[in-house]
Amino acid sequence: MGFAVWIDSAERVAWARGTHEYRPMGTAVIALSDQFRHRDFAPARESPSHLRNCFAGFFGSLETVNEFLQSPVTRTLRRTPPHLL
């Protein structure tokens, strides 16, 4: 499994694109106060293009994504890697 995560601070939401055994799971969006679940991912959903400079990172499981979202550490967002565009 692998998850790419974007944070939309203005809208207070997090977006994630997931893969499972190299097959796309789709994209999910949640409130920053919530947690991602497998059922949140929809293959037809696309993340908005305005998030190009809001990339939070790659994660190996939903647990680590959710821990990252709940941590009080200041998030450093950067430009989305080209292979994800």
pTM over 0.75: yes
Continuous segment of H or E residues that includes residue 18:
strand 13-20
Domain ranges, residue 41: 2-84
Q: Give residue 47's pLDDT.
A: 86
CA torsion sign for 2, 18, 4, 82 is positive
On the question of pLDDT at 1 being above 80, the answer is no
Structure confidence by residue, pLDDT tens digits, 13-58: 999 999 877 788 999 999 999 999 999 999 999 888 899 999 999 9
Q: Domains in the chain: how many in total?
A: 1
CA distance 17 to 24: 8
